[in-house]
Amino acid sequence: MVFVREKEGNMEWPCLDEYEKLVIRMNTPRVVIDNAVCSSSTLVKVDSARKHGILLEAVQVLTDLNLSIKKAYISSDGRWFMDVFHVTDQNGNKLTDESVISYIEESLGTLHSVVRSSSLNGLTALELTGTDRLGLLSEVFAVLSDLQCNIVEAKVWTHNGRIASLIYVKDCNSGSQIEDSHKIDRIEGRLRNVLKGDNDIRSAKTAVSMAVTHTERRLHQLMFADRDYERKSKTGHTSTSPAVTVQNWAERGYSVVNVQCKDRRKLLFDIVCTLTDMEYVVFHGTIDTAGHGASLEFYIRHTDGTPISSEAERQRVIQCLQAAIERRASEGVRLELCTMDRQGLLSEVTRTFRENGLNVTRAEISTIRETARNVFYVTDAAGQPVDANIIEAVRQRIGFANLRVKELPSLYHNKEARDEPAAGVGGAMLISLGSLVRRNLYNLGLIRSYS
């Protein structure tokens, strides 16, 4: 299938004069989706007026569809920016589904003002952060079950001994948002006590919201606010962290960020999300993947137009980007639960995990119609691989047909970390990087010359 489609927003503007129409045209993103340029991926190009966060919005649209971004080129000139993404579907193929293509066109074409509907509307959002420990998730779910809260969707991340979770619930009796302020106070109080445990009195936090937010971005924000990037757990990734370098290019007033790491889906989202929430603007960038590796380069400034100004700030950017990448690096065994949803299901399942010494390092909870589709990543209490006999015992308790097992390889490997050279070091390399974006855009035929 070969096609080139271009869309420029909604062009129906009744009762507007020509100047108003021109302003709308200038600020409406122009989207091109092309299956002819590349033999292995679909090209998605977005031209738009520049504003802080719009790159993240564009990446978010693509990653929310579980698309893989194999290459990307980001360029900003004055008040305008252009993003070019090479994407594939979950099977590594070009995009051919018309509904997916139309959704991308519509969503990217309204980046500045779109308000998307969500299946999470009408639910209550619970935000939790604290010290991770064996069985904590079981205790949280037990409290919610006891308080007659039905968990519709949830995501749980752990990193460097910390835990962050965003849980969407509804009242079991009304089947809708929890609006009783007394019940909300009880939920917050009991969850805070669970999170505090015996030794996390200061940092455990809970919050209740009726607003719908982007779950994974909010998890990054919660972890960032909890300063997980400063803490190192006993089983952390200290020896296998992604290679991140930051150099200032004084002649052009940019800070140049280079990342070398294992490729995976949503990698670009995690990095851009962190830079955006740290109040940096990406002016130029390139993303390239080859085999299982990824190389990413960004030219950034503060929102006030200045580059990174101190060694302490440079180190903080490195730490925060490493943490953003590692948060999805859940090692161990992936357990997939698919069964009819019922009150207290999650409490029972996670209690079984706890009783068998399984620690949940990451979880993705969802309910589709009346079916619970849940994914848990588990290790033993010390963060090591789980004995196969324990996994089989857990499956027997929960039901072999309900709980399936998939072993996940480590996201980072010591050998790869040792063998990969650090990128972006030295003044000569910084100068050569200055033409990298232009050269890539030239090769795509998007500019006439890069000399």
Question: Are residues 215 and 155 in contact, defined by beta-carbon separation less than 8 angstroms?
Answer: yes
The phi and psi torsions of 426 (rounded to 5 degrees) equal 105, 145
- Per-residue confidence (pLDDT) for residue 311, from 0 to 100: 97
- Per-residue confidence (pLDDT) for residue 3, from 0 to 100: 58
**Cα(112)–Cα(23) distance, rounded to whole angstroms?**
13
What's the pLDDT tens digit per position in 31-43? 999 999 999 999 9
- Per-residue confidence (pLDDT) for residue 175, from 0 to 100: 86
Task: Supply the mean pLDDT for the chain.
Answer: 84
Percent residues over pLDDT 70 in the chain: 79
Q: What is the dihedral of CA 110, 115, 117, 119, to 10 degrees?
A: 110
Q: Which of 433, 429, 422 is nearest to 241 (CA)?
A: 422
Q: Which of 180, 200, 234 is nearest to 128 (CA)?
A: 200
Least trusted range by pLDDT, from 177-191, 256-270, 405-419 = 405-419
Q: What value does the mean pLDDT take over residues 73-82?
A: 86
Q: What value does the mean pLDDT take over residues 12-22?
A: 53
In this predicted structure, the answer to whether residue 78 has a pLDDT above a threshold of 90 is: no
Neighbours of 64 (CB within 10 A): 16
Pure H helices in 111-166: 136-146
In this predicted structure, the answer to whether residue 320 has a pLDDT above a threshold of 90 is: yes
In this predicted structure, the answer to whether residue 228 has a pLDDT above a threshold of 50 is: yes
**Cα(346)–Cα(156) distance, rounded to whole angstroms?**
13
pLDDT category at 430 given cuts 50, 70, 90 is very low
Pure H helices in 162-280: 181-196, 215-225, 267-277
Question: Are residues 328 and 406 in contact, defined by beta-carbon separation less than 8 angstroms?
Answer: no
- Per-residue confidence (pLDDT) for residue 201, from 0 to 100: 61
Q: What value does the mean pLDDT take over residues 142-170?
A: 95
Percent residues over pLDDT 90 in the chain: 68
HSE, side-chain direction, 13 A CA sphere, residue 97: 11
Residue 9 three-state SS: coil
Least trusted range by pLDDT, from 5-14, 363-372, 404-413 = 5-14
* All domains of the chain in start order, with CATH: 4-108 (3.30.70.260), 124-232+329-408 (3.30.70.260), 243-328+421-443 (3.30.70.260)
Residue 401 three-state SS: coil
Q: What value does the mean pLDDT take over residues 335-346?
A: 95
**Cα(172)–Cα(72) distance, rounded to whole angstroms?**
45
Rounded CA Rg of the chain = 23
The phi and psi torsions of 359 (rounded to 5 degrees) equal -105, 125
- Per-residue confidence (pLDDT) for residue 14, from 0 to 100: 53
Q: Kind of pairing, strands 80-88 and 124-131? A: unpaired
**Cα(88)–Cα(34) distance, rounded to whole angstroms?**
12
Residue 293 three-state SS: strand
Q: State how far Cα 159 lies from the chain centre.
A: 14
In this predicted structure, the answer to whether residue 340 has a pLDDT above a threshold of 90 is: yes
**Cα(36)–Cα(380) distance, rounded to whole angstroms?**
49
Q: Which of 335, 343, 308, 325 is nearest to 399 (CA)?
A: 335
Which residues neighbour 395 within 8 Å (Cβ) at sequence distance 6 or greater?
A: 403, 405
